[in-house]
Chain A
Amino acid sequence: MEVCNCIEPQWPADELLMKYQYISDFFIAIAYFSIPLELIYFVKKSAVFPYRWVLVQFGAFIVLCGATHLINLWTFTTHSRTVALVMTTAKGLTAAVSCATALMLVHIIPDLLSVKTRELFLKNKAAELDREMGLIRTQEETGRHVRMLTHEIRSTLDRHTILKTTLVELGRTLALEECALWMPTRTGLELQLSYTLRQQHPVEYTVPIQLPVINQVFGTSRAVKISPNSPVARLRPVTGKYMLGEVVAVRVPLLHLSNFQINNWPELSTKRYALMVLMLPSDSARQWHVHELELVEVVADQVAVALSHAAILEESMRARDLLMEQNVALDLARREAETAIRARNDFLAVMNHEMRTPMHAIIALSSLLQETELTPEQRLMVETILKSSNLLATLMNDVLDLSRLEDGSLQLELGTFNLHTLFREILSLIKPIAVVKKLPITLNLAPDLPEFVVGDEKRLMQIILNIVGNAVKFSKQGSISVAALVTKSDTRAADFFVVPTGSHFYLRVKVKDSGAGINPQDIPKLFTKFAQTQSLATRSSGGSGLGLAISKRFVNLMEGNIWIESDGLGKGCTAIFDVKLGISEGSNESKQSGIPKVPAIPRHANFSGLKVLVMDENGVSRMVTKGLLVHLGCEVTTVSSNEECLRVVSQEHKVVFMDVCMPGVENYQIAIRIHEKFTKQRHQRPLLVALTGNTDKSTKEKCMSFGLDGVLLKPVSLDNMRDVLSDLLERRVLYEGM
């Protein structure tokens, strides 16, 4: 072995130790060099590590440590100064870096530790969120099921469909084995199995309502787990193999309310519940989860609402059907009533006609009979016949009118007529009876009473005739006064106020008689049909008692009022009525009289300036005739002899009235002479009218043969003269003015 100049190491004794140190250092160095490489490699792989600078430092520190240990290898043997220098540098660096790293680590290690803590925290949170997610998901699913169920339930108002759908949907949603609904019976003492899910035809199966399990369920609004062996849950024949699934029951309130507020369930006053029983599949070991129970409760509420709506709808449909039936029945009744009325009217009309015809015959023939020569007894008999038949005719008219009035089918026939004339005509109609009874009638027409009015003339005449007739009928002595006036206001009846409008006025007619009078208590009865006061005085008079009732109805139709005042029995009475009439524009209206005469032709109501010639030997009657014609507006010339007449007559005169009362033919000569005078101007010849005291056929024939245009019976009334003049001037001939 070569020996060097240096200190001889103690190789043989410490050689082994040295060798081991040598090897250890070597490995340390390798490790020190490889660790940073590994670190770098892994850091490069994971991009997340935030402390690169630390790694670099650490790497440097380890590299330097390794370098130190590596250099240490050379220091075991003698080594030069450079090696020592390098060694020293290395160690110094290492020291610096390691110190720096140590300092750095003080900062870093807490951070690293907190990262760990955060990681733990986040893991916990994630676990929590997972749980909540699970919850929400289940709730959402529940909600979806409920919505779907509700939609299905509410899409129909038919009770059966509702319940069936509920069971089906619940069964599907919750995957039930069986689902059943028990409804209370009518008596309320039992629950009857009404609907089941699987079994198609539920058997008539009831359980009493007072079972403890049922009470338990009805006592709470929540779904209650019940034993599968309870009677309500035992829907299928039990075969021993199965372990029955859990059963839940919930109550379904049966209400009839249509307005529910969510938090405001009304106190269940009816206390009628149905029972819904739900069974999980057997042998499934499934449990009822809370969310499933909640689902069931919600569904039960919805079903309750839907059922109550269905119940209300059923009721309203029933009511509607009932109403329709009633409607049909009423319609039928109305039609029957109408038919009856029509039949009655037809009957009345026919009977009326049938009865009137013979009546007319009787009246006509009796009148004719009256005109012939009769002995006093015969005359009396004929008069009685006539009176009775007239009464009967009036009765028939009254009955027919009254029935039409009651129907409301009577309508006023409005027309224009002369009010003054109407009253005079009425008076002339009543005259005969009044004469017989020696009762003078006076007529007092107010000066402001319009002459031409619009109204129902015939019916007004009927009213006045009725009242005046009554006055005459019930008076044995005294007098009767008829007054007609325009009334303004302040009428007797408190509920009837008279307001004269522009084109209307209210006519008041007062008929006062001095007859038997009426007891004030009987006055209200007067206007009722068929009632007559039973006083002795009136018993002898005839009449049906309909007259006043009809008059009252007519007066009402004319928007008026009628009443009777009496101071008592024996003091006479006054009948007063107001009716509404229209005012018409005076003189150019056509005059229509209540007694139909000649059909209406346009008449001259105004003869102003009409030149006429009057020939009469009798001064007085000449004056009267002149007065008549002057009153009608004519321009009258009078002559008293034939010669004078011939001299005076000219084409200006339109009419010549000649008196032919004197016996002989001379009077008619004048007519021939006038004809001769006007042979050339035939169209201008005045009309010739004879005034004579008798109008038998011979006189008429004579007049015609002598060329007279008309004959008039003396004395001529004013109305007669007016009519005659109109007719004459219209038709240029007159042989009816008798």
Chain B
Amino acid sequence: MNTIVVGQLQRQFQDYIVSLYQQGYLDNQFTELRKLQDEGSPDFVAEVVSLFFDDCAKVINDMSTSLERPDHVDFKQVDSGVHQLKGSSSSVGARRVKNVCIAFKECCDVQNREGCLRCLQQVDYEYKMLKTKLQDLFNLEQQILQAGGTIPQVSMN
């Protein structure tokens, strides 16, 4: 085990994850998720987030279909989709996504199609952004583990 390399990687990891928190991509729930990862479920976080992203994709797709036709918008469906997204994103700690969902819900409540479309776009953008970021994070984790080190705990806002 090359301590220097591990140390470097760990610092990199720390800085990266810290930046994610700072930029608001993640919140404390993500930390809680990471706590649930142990020997029994070593890929728990990865599984959950991948499920989340799949979920996101599906829901966004559905919502997009609903919002497509300007005269016949099933706001109930959109509402439930938003609700689901909000629930999922708060469960994984995807802060930005969640915030967008809040705004989305407001638009939905007032049945503002334009607003909803905008929010939808934003949600799409955000979740994809988060996906790439988390992918990088997991790569770093793998590198650390391969070098024989341990993943540091990080607690943030």
Contact = CB atoms under 8 A, between A and B. Distances in A.
A714 B80 CA distance: 17
A136 interface: no
Contact of B88 (A428, A434, A441, A620): A620
Interface stretch (B43-51, B62-70, B113-121, B138-146): B43-51
A427 B155 CA distance: 7
Contacts of B88: 618-621
A662 B81 CA distance: 11
Contacts of A624: 33, 36, 48, 91-92
B153 A445 contact: yes
Contact of B155 (A428, A618, A661, A715): A428
Contact of B153 (A428, A443, A631, A662): A443
B134 to A, nearest CB: 14
B52 A443 contact: no
Given A438-B22, A628-B36, A620 B156 contact: no
A447 B38 CA distance: 13
Contacts, number: 98
B148 interface: no
Interface in A618-636: 618-621, 623-625, 627-628, 630-631
B131 interface: no
B83 interface: yes
A631 B40 contact: yes
B41 interface: yes
Contact of B156 (A440, A447, A617): A440
Contacts of B44: 627
A693 B33 CA distance: 18
B14 A442 contact: yes
B157 interface: yes
A286 B41 CA distance: 129
A718 B21 contact: no
Given A442-B18, A620-B55, A621-B87, A631 B155 contact: no
B84 interface: yes
A510 to B, nearest CB: 13
A16 to B, nearest CB: 178
Contacts of A445: 153
Nearest to A661: B87
Contacts of A623: 47-48, 51, 91
A443 B155 contact: yes
A464 to B, nearest CB: 13
A424 interface: yes
B32 interface: yes
Contacts of B156: 431, 440-441
A628 B80 CA distance: 25
B111 interface: no
B112 interface: no
A695 interface: no
B29 interface: yes
B144 to A, nearest CB: 13
Contacts of A628: 36
B139 to A, nearest CB: 20
A21 interface: no
B91 A618 contact: yes
B154 A442 contact: yes
Nearest to A663: B83
A503 interface: no
A219 to B, nearest CB: 96
Contacts of B83: 661-662
A435 interface: yes
A650 interface: no
A441 B17 CA distance: 11
A442 B155 contact: yes
A424 B155 CA distance: 8
A566 interface: no
Nearest to B53: A620
Most buried by B among A445, A621, A631, A714: A621
Nearest to A631: B36
A692 to B, nearest CB: 10
Contacts of B32: 715, 717-718
A344 to B, nearest CB: 42
23 contacts: A443-B154, A444-B152, A444-B153, A479-B15, A618-B55, A618-B84, A619-B88, A620-B48, A620-B91, A620-B92, A621-B88, A621-B90, A624-B33, A624-B36, A624-B91, A631-B36, A631-B41, A659-B87, A662-B80, A714-B91, A715-B91, A715-B93, A717-B28
Closest 7 CB pairs of A and B: A620-B88, A621-B91, A440-B18, A624-B91, A435-B157, A427-B155, A627-B36
Interface of A: 424, 427-428, 431, 434-435, 438, 440-445, 447, 479, 481, 617-621, 623-625, 627-628, 630-631, 659, 661-662, 693, 714-715, 717-718
Interface of B: 14-15, 18, 21-22, 28-29, 32-33, 35-36, 38, 40-41, 44, 47-48, 51-52, 55, 80, 83-84, 86-88, 90-93, 150, 152-157
